[in-house]
Amino acid sequence: MPDSPAGPPTPPIPLTELLAREELGLRRIAGPEHADLLWVHTSEMADPYPYLLGGELLLTAGVQLADADTYVARLAQAGASALGFGVAPVHDTVPRALVEACERHGLPLIEVPPETRFTAIARAVWRLMAEARHRELRRVTRAQQALATAAARPDPVPAVLRQLAVQLDARAELLTADGGVLHAAGGHAAPDVRTALARLARVVSPAAPSSSSRKPSPSSATDTRGGTHLFAYALGGGQGLVLTLATPRRDSGDHTVAGIAVVLLSLLTAPHQGADAAGRSAALVRLLLGAAPQDVAPLLGDGDGDDWTVVHARRADGTPPGSLNAGALGAALGSALSDVDRETVRVLLPGHQGAVAPQPGWTLGVSGPSTAAAALPDADTQASRALGHAEATRTPLGIHRPGAGGLADLVPADRAEAHARALLAPLTEPLAETLRCWLSLHGSWDRTAVALKVHRNTVRQRIARCAALLDVDLDDMDVRTELWFALRRRTA
């Protein structure tokens, strides 16, 4: 089924809809009445099998038709949906042997009259596909809006399940890691369907027993039981929750609608992960009442509160992130502590989180590891700068690298900091930050502009102002080295 990155797959076109176009004059003369069309392909090869993908309406005038039975058998083996045979100029009528072969192999055979061009048939199929695509997009959009409204209700998880069951005409269940039903909606499923769903849920359950040789569980799985279509989706968050669906039919946009529900349910069940809602509320109350950050940090996650990493993130396509995106990113990174500040998402990772991995669709900046709660403002600055550097260099992940020591360790810290303060005293904070960023990006005007989100002329003006205030030549490598050392000591 053809996919589009902008939405759900294009639904297949029923053959009956194409036959209903009176201006084409098409007539089914053999084979079953019902078939689904995904493509239109024209070929006069004696054996087009190697060039078929499956689901085609194959159009031919029979130029090289020799053995009708072998020809049709190969089309059926390739998965073609139907055969359209053009009458004239090669054949005055559809060969009787071809009609019998299509009946024998169950392939619909369509007679194309002389006045109908193959291009007109292809154009009609694409038009029907476009209409079906628009209908499916509208259906998915309505379902998305309904699910989002349900997620805003006081009982969001049952409400989302109920709305999902309505949208897909399905039995929807949210299962725990041990297979128990946490919430359910929709009609009851037959015993054999319930057994098959439980088995399917174990396939995707991230809580299933694992070993070093066991492959990771898939995020989704499908099956059928009689005329019922079965689906299972693992929710994010590491709790082992699984969404199962049983539907009497399977439309092209159903997977997209189910995917939206999976994201919502993953976010709605996120408070059950790591730091629970009660702990976060207690931490907030204590902060508002004057407690020090290091005193409330243990309430927010695992460990003693002295091991934190800050992540800043922006959408790679430049679109503003919403709270749902922020929550989804936090869940992917393993934390429920996320916030949106304009176009930037900030995530706080408590405990020993390990290396932060790149996330599809995001650009990340990561602070230095193992930051104490009292030093979180510094870590926040580090993550912001790492994100700016990642965007400027067009990399998906930027990580703050602390100073490597070396020669810098030969100068006592107090003397180095005093020298840095004296040297950089003429500069305001915006000028110092611009100079630091410009030096870190090897004097690139464009990359510095991207990192600071200002115009490149603004960068030039600020750097010229720095040179004037410091009375130095910034083209001199010795000058740059000394300033870089001072700026690093200033922000250490």
pLDDT tens per residue across span 442-456: 888 888 888 888 898
Instruction: Round to whole Å and give the CA distance between 168 and 255.
Output: 10
> How many Cβ atoms sit within 10 Å of the Cβ of residue 309?
28
**Residue 393's pLDDT is what?**
82
477 or 11: which carries more pLDDT confidence? Answer: 477
Q: How confident is the model at residue 7 (pLDDT cuts 50, 70, 90)?
A: very low
**Residue 398's pLDDT is what?**
85
Output phi, psi for 58, to 5 deg.
Answer: -90, 125
**Residue 452's pLDDT is what?**
84
Query: Across 386-437, where does the E strand assignment appear?
Result: 397-399
**Residue 2's pLDDT is what?**
42
- Report the percentage of the chain scoring pLDDT > 90: 28
Instruction: Round to whole Å and give the CA distance between 445 and 465.
Output: 15
Sheet with 242-247, edge to edge strand ranges: 181-185, 171-175, 242-247, 228-234, 220-225
Q: How confident is the model at residue 388 (pLDDT cuts 50, 70, 90)?
A: confident
244 or 453: which carries more pLDDT confidence? Answer: 244
* Span 350-373, pLDDT tens digits: 765 567 888 888 899 888 866 777
* Span 23-48, pLDDT tens digits: 999 999 999 999 999 889 999 999 99
Q: How confident is the model at residue 214 (pLDDT cuts 50, 70, 90)?
A: low
* Span 245-292, pLDDT tens digits: 999 988 878 888 888 888 888 888 765 444 456 666 677 777 767 777
Mean pLDDT value of segment 230-238:
82
Distance of CA 351 to the CA centre of its chain: 26
pTM for the predicted model, two decimal places: 0.47
Residue 192 to residues 12, 196, 224, Cα–Cα distance (Å) = 30, 6, 11
**Residue 270's pLDDT is what?**
64
Mean pLDDT value of segment 225-239:
83
